[in-house]
């Protein structure tokens, strides 16, 4: 199913910069946190399911609960 930008309920794929902005941190900080957590992400867009996995692994559960609603 293709993401619909007009539907705010459906999470969209984000790149690392957009994910970092959503978290309120810089891309460099996101990268350091992911290295510390031994996580890697390919270049390009990060699918919503992978975003949730990253947020939960880094302890950002409050953002995952907002997205789930």
Q: Would you give per-residue pLDDT tens digits along the chain (69 residues)?
A: 455 556 666 789 999 999 999 999 999 999 999 999 999 999 999 999 999 999 999 998 777 665 444
Structural domain spans, the chain: 16-68
The full DSSP string for 4-64 is -TT-TTS---B-HHHHHHHHTS-HHHHHHHHHHTT----SSPBPHHHHHHHHHHTT-HHHH
pTM of the model: 0.76
């Amino acid at each position: 199913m293709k993401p619909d930008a007009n539907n705010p309920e459906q999470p969209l794929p984000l790149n690392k910069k957009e994910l970092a902005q959503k978290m309120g941190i810089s891309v460099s900080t996101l990268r350091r946190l992911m290295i510390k957590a031994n996580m890697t992400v390919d270049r390009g867009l990060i699918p919503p399911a992978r975003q949730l996995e990253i947020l939960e692994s880094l302890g950002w559960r409050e953002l995952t609960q907002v997205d789930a609603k």
